[in-house]
Amino acid sequence: MIRVEKLVKRFGDSVILDGIDLEIAQGEIIVVIGPSGTGKSTLLRCLNFLERPDSGRLKLGDLDLDVAAVNAKDMLAARRRTAFVFQNYALFANKTALENIAEGLIVVNRWPKKKAYARALEILERIGLASKANAYPASLSGGQQQRVGIGRAMAAKADIILFDEPTSSLDPEWVEEVLGLMKQLAAERQTMLVVTHEMSFARDVADRVIFMEGGRIVEQGPPSQLFNAPRDPRTQNFLRKVLATSSSGSISANNDALSVSE
């Protein structure tokens, strides 16, 4: 289980995360939505200590941290329990797909190379890219690069995978293959916290959808409740802006509306 208590993050005088409380069960799939600049990325980055939170508690399994008092060892321990998938893949250009997946195991988990490469190959098979083991990122499509990014997160066997808009940089033709891999992970009950504008993914896959605004969780619930019967006017307002209901009844995000700050 993962528990966040009263998490606060400031940048200068601005309070970006204003006391976030969140509990995530093992195997739970959570999607976070909300207007631009509202702290979604900052929340994910604080859970992984890519940003240093100012105060609060973070519980990751048996690791229980007062975030204001963490040392380097605590941070490394937290990073081992939380894997991150970035919008822009963040692969090493000078390493092959296999090496990119093995790198974290060697550096963060201190595995011997041989063992790390064996695991990386196993992951490449699971993500359908075994034939690309020795390919460099530049020779892979955006969708393949992001699948390697997800493979790298899978390799770590972390308690949770944090996805920050994993399909937002992709050409439309590659979005489905990446969402497909995420759905595969969800079906395996890999715990995940996903920031995305892919509302149909949220509706079909999430156990719980969280709406954030102004550094706070405004409302959360199962997708059926949050999308069909949002209670808070701020959630209603946001959904009205971003959801375009097609004749088939499927929902997708209106990206123009999403890029506008509230």
Ligand X SMILES: Nc1ncnc2c1ncn2[C@@H]1O[C@H](COP(=O)(O)OP(=O)(O)OP(=O)(O)O)[C@@H](O)[C@H]1O
Question: What residues line the site for Mg ion (CB under 5 A)?
Answer: 41
Residue 81 Cβ, how far from ligand X at the closest point, in Å? 21
Q: Is 92 one of the binding residues for ligand X (CB under 6 A)?
A: no
Which of 85, 44, 31 minimizes the C-alpha distance to 202?
31
Q: Considering beta carbons, is residue 85 or 102 the nearer one to Mg ion?
A: 85
Residue 191: which of Mg ion, ligand X, none does it interact with, CB under 5 to 8 A by kind?
Answer: none
Taking the CA atoms of residue 173, residue 174, residue 175 and residue 179 in that order, the dihedral angle to the nearest 10 degrees is 140
Q: Considering beta carbons, is residue 16 or 97 the nearer one to ligand X?
A: 16
State the Cα–Cα distance between residues 48 and 196, nearest whole angstrom: 18
Residue 42 Cβ, how far from ligand X at the closest point, in Å? 3
Q: Considering beta carbons, is residue 9 or 152 the nearer one to ligand X?
A: 9
Residue 42: which of Mg ion, ligand X, none does it interact with, CB under 5 to 8 A by kind?
Answer: ligand X
Residue 9 Cβ, how far from Mg ion at the closest point, in Å? 13
Residue 85 Cβ, how far from ligand X at the closest point, in Å? 14
Those residues whose C-beta lies under 8 Å from the C-beta of residue 148, and which sit 6 or more positions away, are 89, 91, 97, 100, 101, 127, 129, 132, 137, 140
State the Cα–Cα distance between residues 56 and 78, nearest whole angstrom: 14
Q: What are the angstrom distances between the C-alpha of 7 and each of 25, 42, 46, 86, 227?
A: 18, 11, 9, 22, 26
Residue 215 Cβ, how far from Mg ion at the closest point, in Å? 13
Given 16, 33, 98, 161, the residue binding ligand X (CB under 6 A): 16
Q: Scanning the structure block, which residue is given the tokens 């739970």?
A: 28
Q: Considering beta carbons, is residue 89 or 117 the nearer one to Mg ion?
A: 89
Residue 104: which of ligand X, Mg ion, none does it interact with, CB under 5 to 8 A by kind?
Answer: none
Site for ligand X in 21-80 (CB under 6 A): 34, 36-42
State the Cα–Cα distance between residues 40 and 49, nearest whole angstrom: 14
Q: Considering beta carbons, is residue 22 or 140 the nearer one to ligand X?
A: 22
State the Cα–Cα distance between residues 228 and 121, nearest whole angstrom: 42
State the Cα–Cα distance between residues 200 and 183, nearest whole angstrom: 12
User: How many residues make contact with ligand X (CB under 6 A)?
Assistant: 10
Given 1, 11, 134, 224, the residue binding ligand X (CB under 6 A): 11
Q: Considering beta carbons, is residue 87 or 225 the nearer one to Mg ion?
A: 87
Those residues whose C-beta lies under 8 Å from the C-beta of residue 241, and which sit 6 or more positions away, are 254, 257
Residue 219 Cβ, how far from ligand X at the closest point, in Å? 16
